[in-house]
Each structure stands twice: as C-alpha cells, then as structure tokens.
Amino acid sequence: MADAVVLVSGGAAVTPFTDPERAAATGLAAGNTMTALRAHHLNRGVPVFTAPARIGAGTVERDAGWQGFDDVPVVLSDAVTINAVGRIDDAGVSLAAFLRWLAAEQGLASLDLIGHSMGGLFSRAAIRELAGDGPRVEHLVTLGTPWDGSVLGDLIDGEISESDAQGDPATLQILAEARPYAAANSEGAAAEVSRRYLRGWNDRHAGVLDGIPVTAVGAGYFAASAEPAQLWPHDGLVSLTSGRADHVPSAVLPIVERHTFDDHVHSIFFAEAFGLPWERALTWDPEVFAVVDAALGR
C-alpha cells in the first residue's frame, strides 16, 4: 500500500495545496473538484494531499470563481504549481516537481495518484517525467479523464460538430459554450484534448505505465443518442468510451480496470448546470469513492 494519496485536479481547475491537517479555511477546502474526495480519505484515516493548480502561471492563494476558496495556509512556489490551462507535458513537469518535493518533505517513498479530467493526463505526464527519479507511483485512478479525446477538444478540432448533438438541448448548450470557454481558458490545453492529438500523445507514452495498475472511471449521463460513439454517451465533457480508455492500446495501458457510471456527470459544475445533486458528479459521489478505495486496496 502506498504511503499517501495525491489528488490531481484537471483543466482550468483552481486547487490549493492541502495536506491532512491544512486546507483553505474559507469556501471549499480543496476547491470545487477535490474537496469531497479529500474529505472521504481523511475520514478513513488515509494521508491525502492535493496538488496545487491554477489558471495560468503563478501560485495558488485563493479562487474567486464559482465555489471557490480563500485563506490558504500554505502557498507553494510556481515551480511546483500546475498551470491547468497549459500544455499537458508542461503540467507533468510541474506535477513531478511537486511529487518530488512532497516525498522529500513528508518522507514518502510511494504514492497513489487520483486524477480528475485532465488531471489524469497530467499524472501520466508526471510519471514519465519522474522516470524512477522520485517517489514510486503504486496506482493511478482516473475519473472522467479524456484518454481518447474530449467533447471540447474534438469540437475545436472539427472531429465532432453541432450536428452530432442530434438535437439534444443539453448537448447543444454544452457545445455552444465550449468554443468561447476554450478561447478564454486555454494556453494550449484545448488543442491537446482532442482525439487526434491524444492518440499520438498516447503512442509516445507507450511503456510509461508498465507495472502500474490503472483504474479508469467513465460517466455517460447525457445519452440522447448512440452515434457517433466518439461523443455519445458523455458526461458533459468526456465521452464514456474515452473516460474508460476503451480504445487506448495495451502497449500504453497494460494493466487496467474499467468502471462505468451511466447516470453521472463530469463534475459539480455540470451537476449544478443541469439541476442534479452534486453527488451525481464523479468527484462527489460515495459510490465512486468506493471504486477508488477498492482500486487502491484501502
């Protein structure tokens, strides 16, 4: 069993550094992605940390956005802070630096990583960056990670279009908001979460996950159609097949267990937007947490 768990948030997420004793004192303690999952591990006595992330370069002191936080007791340097709207490999460099710092600071030899959305890709990039020079990664769990592309990335890349929404009002709303959102919140991230880009990126990562068990959890609340499978069903941002890494080759993903939550959405942002309880989000549901616990042997 690993010495501790590290939670890695995804694209455009703002997350403070937290340890088992310290977190943001105002608002959501670990940001709007990782607060519930952090609380779950703490309640079970598991040492858990969150990797700091922000929109753009810099440090994380507060998040003035939706369901944000303030009064962060420990602010780490920008060198160990993920730019959550930048390129995947750059995020991996920052995350690897954070993991090395954390291991040295806390005396940790091994870690389990749990990545939400692009946080799963950041984690994979960090594992490659570590290359044995740093703490050992025992397990990787991904929640709604775009292993094989995302709704946003594939729309920007032209692989899907509004016509693929089949007239579904919710999906049309998501697609309509995707382009302006990407324009306002990307320094390279949007272009790197398309299926076209990630299939090449995956090929370049063959061998990185050798010996590391992976659990890929996908969701598919939006299921008004069956085609194209690149889109349907989806969780608001990632298709079920992509979140489950169904089409990722075994050379890239040799040890994998896949789980499906048909009636769940990507995050509490999508739950709120479509009138669902937050517990229907992959990052907020005790049933999802039970899958995580089993994957980590905890």
* Digit-coded pLDDT (tens) for 172-205: 999 999 888 888 777 888 899 999 999 999 999 9
Gap between the Cα atoms of 122 and 86, Å rounded? 10
Distance between alpha carbon 205 and the CA centroid of its chain, in Å? 18
DSSP state of 68: -
Gap between the Cα atoms of 269 and 261, Å rounded? 17
The pairing of strands 26-27 and 69-70 is: antiparallel
Place of tokens 């306002």: 184
Structural domain includes residue 33: yes
Gap between the Cα atoms of 259 and 81, Å rounded? 30
Structural domain includes residue 124: yes
The boundaries of the domain holding residue 256 are 4-148+206-296
Reply yes or no on whether the pLDDT at 23 is more than 90: yes
Structural domain includes residue 170: no
- Classify residue 66 by burial, with Cβ atoms within 10 Å: 0-12, 13-18, 19+: exposed
pTM of the entire structure? Answer: 0.98
* CATH code where residue 240 lies: 3.40.50.1820
Q: How many domains does the chain have?
A: 1
Structural domain includes residue 164: no
DSSP H helices, the chain, are 31-43, 88-106, 118-130, 151-157, 169-184, 195-204, 240-243, 268-273, 286-296
146 close to 243: Cβ distance less than 8 angstroms: yes
Q: What is the pLDDT of residues 112-135, one digit of tens each?
A: 999 999 999 999 999 999 998 999
Structural domain includes residue 137: yes
Q: What is the pLDDT of residue 179?
A: 87
